[in-house]
Amino acid sequence: MKILVIDDNPIHQDAARRQLDGEHSLVTSDSYGEGQTILRGKGDFPEGFFDVVLVDLLMPAYGYPLADEGLKFAGKEMPVGIFLALLAAKKGAKYVAVLTDSDHHSHPASACFDAFNESESKPTPLLVENARVLLCNSRYLVQLDRTALTPEECAVAEDWNAPREKREELDGRCPRIKRWDRLLKYLLSPSDNI
């Protein structure tokens, strides 16, 4: 499959390459502006080229075509990924998903996804322009990369009997990694099971 992943975080782009490249034809983009250019067929790929488009929810806002008053938003992290997802559906992608690593307790835009889904573990597909679209804030699609922790620290972080503050401190040192492979499997699955 031809897959486009749009995410401004290099950790998540690298995760997409590790999880999806080789088995699929993968292109990554690191910004709203570049993603929009690709989807509109203005770059190296014709419009409608991608079968699957996977997008981050929160990215720096694009400055074009904003005027003076609007430019104050350019470069600030905003929930613009939803608009790339809608554009992808409009431009012919058959499978589209927005995935955020911000859970519904930490960002209001992520919390909005709850109204569209049966549950956190079961994002509910929408049909938009004949595309299957998911809006995901599921913790099952994001994992902590604990490789920076010592084995002893990992044991504490995973021990539910350890003090919560200590577990949270250790988890705070670990980058959150999006599981693009799980998201793709779920998106393509008619059974809707993660």
Whether pLDDT at 28 is above 90: yes
Domains of the chain: 2-144+177-188 (3.40.50.2300)
**pLDDT digit string, tens, across residues 63-114:** 666 566 666 677 778 899 999 999 999 999 999 999 998 877 778 998 899 8
Identify the residue whose tokens are 């490249």: 21
Give the mean pLDDT of the chain: 89
* Residues near 44 by beta carbon (within 8 Å), at least 6 away in sequence: 38
pLDDT at 66: 57
pLDDT at 29: 96
Give percent above pLDDT 70 in the chain.
Answer: 92
Taking CB atoms within 8 Å and a gap of at least 24, the contacts of 100-105 are 100/56, 100/57, 100/58, 100/136, 100/137, 101/12, 101/142, 101/176, 101/178, 102/57, 102/58, 102/137, 103/137, 103/139, 104/137
Compute how many other C-beta atoms are within 10 angstroms of the C-beta atom of residue 84: 24
> Average of pLDDT values for 46-56?
96
pLDDT at 22: 87
